[in-house]
Amino acid sequence: MIFSTLGRYFLARYIVTVGWFLFGIVAIIYLIDFSEVAGNVTAEAGQNIGDALIITALRLPYILQQTVPFIALFAGMVALIALNRRHELVVTRAAGISVWQFMLPFVFGSFLLGLAAVFALNPLASWSQTKALGLQAMAGGNTDTIPWLRQITDGQDTIIGGRGIAENGSELIGAVVIYFNDQGRIEKRQDAKTATLSDGWWTLHDVTETRLGELSTHSAEVRVKTNLDEEFVQQHLVQPDLVSIYDLKDRISDARQFGVSTKALETQYNYLLSLPLLLVAMTLIAATVCLKFSRFAQSPIVILGGILSGFLLYVTSVLVKAFGSSGVLSPLLAAWIPVIVAAALGLTILLHQEDG
């Protein structure tokens, strides 16, 4: 059915609908996010509206991937409603083609959308969001808080942090290094524009050093010895949803070697693997409320029920994913249980509607 003339037609209608939704959502996200980013751009940091446009464009893939399940839901509903209103589904049923046959192109289309989101959009979003966070940190804008790192090297106790990260965690933007003496009191503080980790050293650039009771001094470059490994730093600084699907297995392996919890990384990995089937479940939910023929228009209550069901599924998957990341649930169960339950529910409702 998928590769028959009718199947290709239904698949084409679904792809076109997805394309229009992608275009509309991208435009809306860009306009809304640009207004937020433009408010954080400051002339003092040497940035202007052009930089705001670039940062917004870089943030776009990361935000867009959060909306993919809803795109699958709404595209499935709109495509099925349009076919129903033009009586094409009625003619299809009259020709003896069951709902399970003519739904295959839509299921296949949503599965392809999920694969594109996982293997194309996700790596792009990981790269572009990291770049955007670096540009925002350089401008002194609002970025996600990163954890402080503590190190004791050659008897020197220091902590290091920053406003943002770049280069997958090996570079800190707006870095701060605080030194402690033997009594555990703050000895001095160094503020740097950037700090780069390589070969057992943090290299600080454009550094302002402050000591208690003394005037601040400025240096072009300062090196701070460290025993922190680059991969270890990346495990602590880079958020799991900023790691590409192609790098997640290596990150999980590295985290295990360092004795770092892998729950969040494993949950993210399994979530990405389950995303194509999550979109299939969204399409089945759309079918449960859009296949019944209506002469004039679908009932708004029925359509609203489908939207609420899809929204509930998405919220549930996000909550369970958080439980998996925190270790409350197994990462495998946290990623796959909502998908399996939603798909089973959609299939059950369709069986009841079509076959009694």
For 144-163, the pLDDT digits (tens) are 556 788 888 878 889 998 87
Ranking 73-77, 156-160, 190-194, 231-235 by mean pLDDT, the lowest is 231-235
First to last CA, the chain: 23
Q: Would you give the DSSP letter of residue 45?
A: G
Q: What is the mean pLDDT of the chain?
A: 85
Q: Is the pLDDT of residue 106 over 70?
A: yes
The pLDDT of 199-223, averaged and rounded, is: 89
Task: List the structure tokens of 205.
Answer: 């650039």
The pLDDT value given to residue 100: 84
Q: What percent of the chain has pLDDT over 70?
A: 91
For 133-143, the pLDDT digits (tens) are 877 776 655 45
pLDDT category at 238 given cuts 50, 70, 90 is confident
**Can you tell me whether residue 223 is helix, strand or coil?**
strand
Rounded to 5 degrees, what angle do the CA atoms 332, 338, 241 make?
A: 60
> For 103-142, b where at least 16 C-beta lie within 10 A, e where not — what string?
bbbbbbbbbbbbeebbeebbbbbbbbbbbbbbbbbbbbbe
Domains and CATH numbers, the chain: 5-139+261-355 (no CATH), 149-238 (2.30.30)
The pLDDT value given to residue 345: 86
The pLDDT of 111-139, averaged and rounded, is: 89
Q: Is the pLDDT of residue 87 over 80?
A: yes
Comparing 16 with 289, which gets the higher pLDDT?
A: 16
Model confidence pTM above 0.85: no
